[in-house]
Amino acid sequence: MKSTKSNLRKEKTQSLRPHSSIVVDGADRAPSRAMLYAVGFKEDDFKKPMIGIASTWSMVTPCNMHIDKLALEAEAGANKAGGKAIIFNTITISDGISMGSEGMKYSLVSREVIADSIEVVVGCEGLDGFVAIGGCDKNMPGCLIAMARLNRPSVFVYGGTILPGCITGDTRKLDVVSVFEAVGAHANKKIDDAELHKIESCAIPGPGSCGGMYTANTMASAIEALGMSLPNSSAQNAMSKAKKEDCQRAGAAVVNLLKLGIRPLDIMTRKAFENAITVVIALGGSTNAVLHLLAMANAAGVNLTIDDFTKIGKRVPVLADLKPSGKHLMSELVAIGGIRPLMKMLLDAGLLHGDCLTVTGETMAQTLKNVPPYLKGQTIIRPLSDPIKKDSHLVVLYGNLASGGAVAKITGKEGMRFTGKAIVFESEEKALTAILNGTVKKGHVIVIRYEGPKGGPGMREMLSPTSAIMGKGLGKEVALITDGRFSGGSHGFVVGHVTPEAYVGGTIALVKNGDPITIDADKRELSLDIPVAELKKRKQAWKAPKPRYTRGVLAKYAAHVTSASLGAVTDADLKL
């Protein structure tokens, strides 16, 4: 009898340790245990499930500078719940610092590097589950792609949003986009050198991700709606008691998921991705959500396409008055209850799938059951009866300029249609110079090409030119299209992700200065208005450019990356 009970206990213990037991159990695994004693393991620790804590800490960016401390909180939570936590790091880059430079070409590439590195560590070391803590926007989809690939119990933790910056005696709430737009205002002589210096030195007051509904806050919200982070994780200030507690609970939650036998692919279903898209739209989130959700779904084996954003967008309104196109910052949304009351509102209206599983072990409906509504008088989240826009701001366009699709961010404030004359640039830097020096005029459609996933390579974000347009006061006077992409901080009449991209001979490569271009959000069309015969002639004359990089990570990425309309995943990851 004793032997039977002992065997049952052993089987139960090993069921919580499906991977670590292979690495550390038995006499033949003594060398493995010897190595782990050196990093602090005690004898009893080898009987516990090993929980990785994937930290994206670095001093490269304020978004991630505090995550080493959050990793310690997650470690404590996992250990207290009966696991043995192991902290490890992966990389991060800073979009805000590299924006507008050659360095930005590495940004989207880092998503794949982060996913690969987490997969490598968790897979190699036999970790039974893990917490991943991300702060900047590529960290988040990178972490989720790794979770889907590995399919081991895991929870994502958002590092939290930054607090607003301020200038003494000034009521403005500043953030990084304030600085980018100040550059345009400075070029337009609306502010002087001293004012620009004041803004740049005060806009970023400390740790946390960029403060509007930019890509980081968008993706954090999407991941919570997906069910892969704990309730409220997406709407907490980086430096707060709530964020520390979130990390502790996440460590414990992974151990609980092991006990429940719940894995990421049980959570990351088609319905869950529809929930994520719904919340992104309601919040007025970043166009990068399209790129990243497609990539995450691909990793999870879920059939999601850009057309799903159109289908869902026809029934989901924009409700949040958040920057960049709105007035408020994420920290203000945190103060009124975060995104949970919004999600409850969407659930009650039949716009969310309540039966989706979450990392709590409960369904989405169960986690939202007792969420109170926003207090009366708040102006950040509109009621469904009075939306900012009755359908999605994320508009997928097709046409002879984008036969594979393009993604626009149109809130309606810019208008729904723009026709103008093309002014063409072969790089972001050349376009920015022309905007700042006044070459770009009212009525222009700025075309920035050879910035796609293959052509850049790396699909740079165009925050510098879009912010310069706003700072120069041209937000409603010009449009911009590109085979690159946009920061979540971009706003105005802008269209990105144009596919096929210029580098593979897409129509955007054939545009000439002065060509008429029409962007029609109502018809969902992006058109180069020239005769078919002329277009055919240009196509025949076009020659593919030589690769910009022939060695290193950018060359490898360019050789393997797919279209933006597929999420810019690498072909090794593509689900055929």
pLDDT in tens, 57-111: 999 999 999 999 999 999 999 999 999 999 999 999 999 899 989 999 999 999 9
Cα 158 from chain centroid? 11
**Rounded mean pLDDT of 262-289?**
97
pLDDT: which is higher, 291 or 571: 291
Query: For residue 575, what pLDDT is reported?
Result: 60
Query: For residue 570, what pLDDT is reported?
Result: 92
Query: For residue 280, what pLDDT is reported?
Result: 98
Which stretch of DSSP H or E encloses residue 266? helix 264-267
What is the rounded end-to-end Cα distance, in angstroms, of the chain?
Answer: 52
Q: What is the DSSP letter of 148?
A: H
**Rounded mean pLDDT of 243-267?**
98
Which single residue is written with the structure tokens 């369904």? 363
Distance CA 571, CA 120 (A): 19
Give the C-alpha distances (Å, rounded to integers) separating 414 from 108, 290, 407, 470, 476.
28, 21, 15, 12, 6
Residues contacting residue 43 through CB under 8 Å, at least 6 positions apart = none
Per the structure block, which two tokens stand in for 379?
């102006």
Per the structure block, which two tokens stand in for 173?
């709430």
Amino acid (1-letter code) at residue 8: L
Which stretch of DSSP H or E encloses residue 293? helix 288-300
Mean pLDDT of the residues in the chain: 94
Mind listing the pLDDT tens digit for each residue in 182-200? 888 888 889 999 999 999 9
Which single residue is written with the structure tokens 């205002």? 185
**pLDDT tops 70 at residue 333:** yes
Percent of the chain with pLDDT over 90: 85
Q: Which of 194, 174, 168, 196 shows the shortest CA–CA distance to 184? A: 196
Give the C-alpha distances (Å, rounded to integers) separating 150 from 255, 301, 420.
16, 12, 48
Mind listing the pLDDT tens digit for each residue in 469-485? 988 889 889 999 999 99
Amino acid (1-letter code) at residue 162: I
Collapsing DSSP states into helix, strand and coil, what is residue 55?
strand
Which are the catalytic amino acids? 487
Which stretch of DSSP H or E encloses residue 84? strand 84-89
Which stretch of DSSP H or E encloses residue 51? strand 50-55
**pLDDT tops 70 at residue 43:** yes
- Could you tell me what percentage of the chain is helix, strand and coil, using 3-state DSSP and rounding each to the nearest 5? 45, 15, 40
Residues contacting residue 519 through CB under 8 Å, at least 6 positions apart = 397, 408, 417, 418, 419, 445, 479, 481, 493, 495, 525, 526
Mind listing the pLDDT tens digit for each residue in 455-514? 999 999 988 898 889 888 898 899 999 999 998 777 778 999 999 999 999 999 999 999
Residues contacting residue 140 through CB under 8 Å, at least 6 positions apart = 134, 156, 158, 216, 219, 220, 223, 292
**pLDDT tops 60 at residue 323:** yes
Query: For residue 8, what pLDDT is reported?
Result: 44
Q: What is the DSSP letter of 53?
A: E
Distance CA 346, CA 278 (A): 8
Give the C-alpha distances (Å, rounded to integers) separating 34 from 30, 31, 43, 46, 191.
6, 5, 10, 11, 63
Query: For residue 172, what pLDDT is reported?
Result: 85
CB 316 within 8 A of CB 391: yes
CB 428 within 8 A of CB 462: yes
pLDDT band at residue 380 using 50, 70 and 90 as cut-offs: very high
Q: What is the DSSP letter of 243?
A: H
Query: For residue 13, what pLDDT is reported?
Result: 54
Indicate the pTM of the whole model. 0.95
pLDDT: which is higher, 4 or 178: 178
Mind listing the pLDDT tens digit for each residue in 397-452? 999 999 999 999 888 777 889 999 999 999 999 999 999 999 999 999 999 999 99
**Rounded mean pLDDT of 328-333?**
96
**pLDDT tops 70 at residue 146:** yes
Q: Which residue pairs, CB below 8 angstroms and at least 24 apart, start in 85-88?
A: 85/50, 85/51, 85/52, 85/53, 85/251, 86/39, 86/50, 86/51, 86/52, 86/53, 86/125, 86/127, 87/52, 87/53, 87/55, 88/52, 88/53, 88/54, 88/55, 88/121
Mind listing the pLDDT tens digit for each residue in 337-362? 999 999 999 999 999 999 999 999 99
Mind listing the pLDDT tens digit for each residue in 384-397? 999 999 999 999 99
Mind listing the pLDDT tens digit for each residue in 151-171? 999 999 999 999 999 887 788
**pLDDT tops 90 at residue 15:** no
CB 80 within 8 A of CB 155: no
Distance CA 460, CA 480 (A): 14
Amino acid (1-letter code) at residue 470: M
**pLDDT tops 80 at residue 573:** no
Query: For residue 574, what pLDDT is reported?
Result: 67
Query: For residue 14, what pLDDT is reported?
Result: 62
Angle value at C-alpha 382, between 379 and 386, nearest 5 degrees:
125
Query: For residue 533, what pLDDT is reported?
Result: 98
Q: List, in sequence order, every beta strand (DSSP E) within 483-554.
A: 493-499, 516-520, 525-528
Query: For residue 183, what pLDDT is reported?
Result: 85
